[in-house]
Amino acid sequence: MVFLPNRNVDIADESARLYGAWLSTIEERLDDPSCDRYELCRSVLMEIHHPELVGVDPQTLPLSTQVLLAQMDARSVTLEPEYYAEADLERYDLTKPLIWMWEGFDRSALGENVHLGVKFRRMLAKRIFRSCGKHFKAFHHVKLSFGYNMDVGDNVVVHRHVLLDDRGGIQLGDGASISDFANIYSHSHDLVEGRDITTPMTVIGAGVRITYHATVMSGVHVADGTMLGSFGMATRDTDPESVYAGIPAKKIRDKPARARPPATLDPLAEDEET
């Protein structure tokens, strides 16, 4: 195998300044203690999806268009976690508009711009998660539940189309990597009565790699350095520095001892933001 660290990708200076200015205006509003997060969400999504209708009286538009524009406002929609009996509605009231803005961004033409998207989601993650470390990276179409039950360490990366069901809480340790289409759960239902629900914390340790289409079930502690193979399903705690695969996942080997690889530049690191 060949050692291939990510390379830096330059974008036009004008675009970098434009993106920075836009993110700064949103961040400044979020930092204002009087910020109405719902109104911020509505205005940002209107400007992204329907700029030609900003300032237009919705009552002058067809009913179907009025319904469409109502979706820009998180107050006009309900999300699944709101129906959960244990939801802390006061806390969720703070995270819901930011989660809706995150999802609306991802559904727009902006969503697959890696340079802009990582910065945008990182800005929101710091205000959604219970804790969020340095250099967090999320790619497009990551799905959260409450958001406020997420504890994320430094240098964590979450790739495309990942489900983070933080109903009971999820911890992602330093350097954890969650690959495309993976699912991490923190709640389960009784075999007979689906309304009997258990919500244990699910822990993904430091340096863990949850690979493509893999699933971690609720309450599992994936120990530091574990790799869960593609399509694997972790139903029990793992041993550290081991490789697991299969359904249910079983240990197939210890990870080989190797010298620590040289440090390389992270082109999307937080310290490089302006």
Residue 266 main-chain phi, psi, to 5 deg? -95, 110
Domains of the chain: 13-257+267-272 (2.160.10.10)
Phi, then psi, of 16 in degrees rounded to 5: -60, -45
Residue 146, C-beta contacts closer than 8 angstroms, at least 6 positions apart: 81, 87, 88, 91, 92, 95, 166, 167
pTM recorded for the entire structure: 0.94
84-135 pLDDT, tens digit each: 999 999 999 999 999 999 999 999 999 999 999 999 999 999 999 999 999 9
pLDDT at position 274 is 38
Joined together, the tokens standing for residue 167 give 């109903």
* CA dihedral of residues 52, 53, 54, 59 (deg, nearest 10): 170
Express each pLDDT in 101-115 by its tens digit.
999 999 999 999 999
DSSP string, 59-90: GGS-HHHHHHHHTTSGGG---GGGG-TT--HH
Below-50 pLDDT ranges, the chain? 273-274
Do you know the residue count of the chain? 274
Q: What is the pLDDT of residue 25?
A: 98
The angle that helices 37-49 and 13-31 make with each other, rounded to 10 degrees, is 150
Alpha-helix residue ranges (DSSP H) falling in 72-180? 89-106, 114-128
pLDDT number for residue 273:
44
pLDDT of the residue at 262:
82
φ, ψ (nearest 5 deg) of residue 215: -135, 135
Structure tokens at 72: 């820009």
